[in-house]
Amino acid sequence: MAGSPHSQTASSPHSPHSHASSQMAPSVPRKRRVNRPENEEVAAWLFLKHRSMAEQQPGGLPEHQGHALSTAYRCVCATNVPIRTFGDLARLRGVEDWVVHLLKDSLPGSTLDLPQENPPTFVSVAPSDLHQHLGDLLKTEKGADVVFEVDGHTFAAHRCVLAARSPVFSAELFGGMKEGNTAGAVRIDEMEAEVFKALLWFVYTDSLQVTEEEDEDVMCQHLLVAADRYGMERLKSICEEKLCKFVNAATIATILTLAEQHHCDGLKKACSRFLGSPANLRALLDSDGFDHLSRSCPLVAKNLIAMSALV
């Protein structure tokens, strides 16, 4: 390669034709393309290290050092193997051990973050089971200090947990909207018992309850409404993401209405994509569901009618 240690020896004042004790490496090689993007940082370090060492020594680097750095740089650029540890670098053919040690010694304070070889593991840390413990707390009702009455059913829960997870529950249970006391239950209107149960489960475990596949879209619709009502944005996003997969001719009117009323931009985009098909748009306009959409979201219905006139 032009600019490599061997290509410049003819013009170098310190070429191999000089006495061995005074042999010096020529200038650093030109930059090369790095085959693996994740190796670019290591390659850049080698290139800059070679250049800085050559500039710091009058007359340039000793030839063996310059050759070793150039070779290591070429190997890193050419390899298709990701270099994630010093061991990976040392295993590259042509990379001398002292270059690896030079890299290790230069890392403190450097922006390069090449990890050391993983040390042996003596302790196995179990994954977090906080959600299981809180789920058990909900199931056993141990220490519960508030009761909710929903659609003829009662649910015991813990004020602090609810307040920590929902700003609306926090206001209702501890703020100016405070409801319920040790003697009476908090009544929840306009929500089915199964939906509130699923909402509580998410509050305690940050996960959805397993439901029958054929009921999943309906439960997600109800939970989205509940999540919006109680300011639980993560739950709302989860339901919105799931409902995007249920958009079809049978559900489009209901889901589009839901997306519009609860400001679900992603879900509206999924509906718009579905209605981008003239056949799907015509099917919606001819369906009974369009009447409901027209009453709930008249502007959306008007825009759909206008869109149909263009196709």
Q: Where in the chain are the domains?
A: 37-105, 247-310
Residue 104: pLDDT band (50, 70, 90) is: low
Q: What per-residue confidence (pLDDT) applies to 27?
A: 54
pLDDT for 78 beyond 50: yes
306 or 213, higher pLDDT:
306
- Mean pLDDT for all residues in the chain: 83
Q: What per-residue confidence (pLDDT) applies to 256?
A: 97
Residues facing residue 148 across a β-bridge: 155, 186
Long-range contacts of 81-88 (CB under 8 A, 24+ apart): 81/36, 82/36, 82/38, 82/39, 83/36, 83/38, 83/39, 83/42, 83/114, 84/38, 84/114, 84/115, 85/114, 85/115, 85/116, 85/117, 85/118, 86/114, 86/116, 86/117, 87/117
20 burial (CB, 10 Å; 0-12 / 13-18 / 19+) is: exposed
CATH architecture, domain defined by 247-310: Alpha Horseshoe (1.25)
Tokens of 126: 């179990």
pLDDT for 15 beyond 50: no
Q: Which numeric CATH code is attached to 37-105?
A: 1.10.150
pLDDT for 223 beyond 80: yes
146-150 sheet: strands from edge to edge: 153-157, 146-150, 186-188
